[in-house]
Amino acid sequence: MSWQAKLLARHMRALVKPWLARIANPGDFAQDVGRANLLLRRPPFLRRFRRPDGLTWISAGPTVPGRAILYFHGGAYVAGSPRSYSGPLGQLSRLTGVEVCAPRYRLAPDHPFPAAYEDAERAWRSLHGLGYSAEDVVIGGDSAGGGLALALLSALCRRGTPPRAAFAFSPWTDLAMTGESLTANRDIDAILPVEKMEEVIELYLGRHSRTDPRASPLYAEFPGCPPVLLQYGEAEILRDDSRRMAERLRGFGAEVTEEVVPDVPHVWQILDGWLPEARASLESTARFVQASLELDTNR
């Protein structure tokens, strides 16, 4: 564990985690998270643009034509945007040499489930409309966006049109909240307050089933699943969402790589430029994407 990670974890446990637990209004949460994400480092030559699909595309430096990463941002289904994720996604594009398509999906409480999932499906169709085949695309996401990516992966697998590969950073895969780590890591998780998650689930799901595969991919099916990379922290309350997701995927014959990092905050990968662990994890993800898309890895 780097000294930067130790210092950040101490700060988050003392200040950020209690602040998250106190927030009463999801609108305030979304606003504050958006401001906080402005602190995320941006790589040189960052470019954010739109194509006829209306989706946000992000790159930094030269990219390979005809390939894409379809990435869904996190934010507990009530916050976040492609704009706030520009820095980390630009770095991911720079490291992979692949453009990132980052959809802006609708958020609760104004747009509850299944709005976010429907927008994920729409984004996939938009890529197809632009000429990308399933084998041209790797899908990914973090936290709630990681769960969204895996839910989409299930639907694509069941249709027989899976992407080339998928990855997820600390994905939220079980909105039924049955993971043991929710209790075991309650006090040591650096940022996520367990007590707030129930409220978020109510805002997003309402009366829908918490085990609906479109919301909780832990209960989904993945026939013919492509390779999947899961990165998560050992001390996270969502640790078991990833552990059990890996087991579920392997049950369908998928090749799953788990990268578990001790003592890092939830979705530490977006803290590139602040934490050495973030760059190491992004570089590992880049190697996975390049190998999956059969790209030159000597970048």
Task: List C-alpha distances in Å: 105 to 26, 82, 88, 119, 227.
Answer: 16, 9, 18, 5, 25
Place of tokens 């906080």: 36
Q: Which of 133, 260, 157 is nearest to 217 (CA)?
A: 157
* Number of other residues whose CB lies within 10 A of the CB of residue 183: 11
In 10 A of CB 268, how many CB atoms? 29
**Number of CB atoms found within 10 A of residue 110's CB:** 11
Cβ atoms < 10 Å from Cβ of 122: 14
Query: What are the tokens at 39?
Result: 């602190």
Measured in whole angstroms, the distance separating CA 262 from the mean position of its chain's CA atoms is 19
Residue 255 CB neighbour total at 10 angstroms: 12
Quickly tell me which residue has 């014959």 as its tokens: 253
For the annotated catalytic residues, the residue numbers are 143, 236, 266
Burial letters 50-82, b for 16+ CB under 10 A, else e: eeebebbbbbbeebeeebbbbbbbbbbbbbbbb
Select from 210, 207, 208, 177 the least CA-distant residue to 195: 177
- Backbone φ and ψ for 294, nearest 5 degrees, come out as 60, 50
| Rounded Cα distance, 103 and 83, in Å | 10
Rounded CA separation 246/186 (Å): 22
Rounded to whole angstroms, how far apart are CA atoms 97 and 74? Answer: 23
Query: What's the token pair of residue 270?
Result: 């977006």
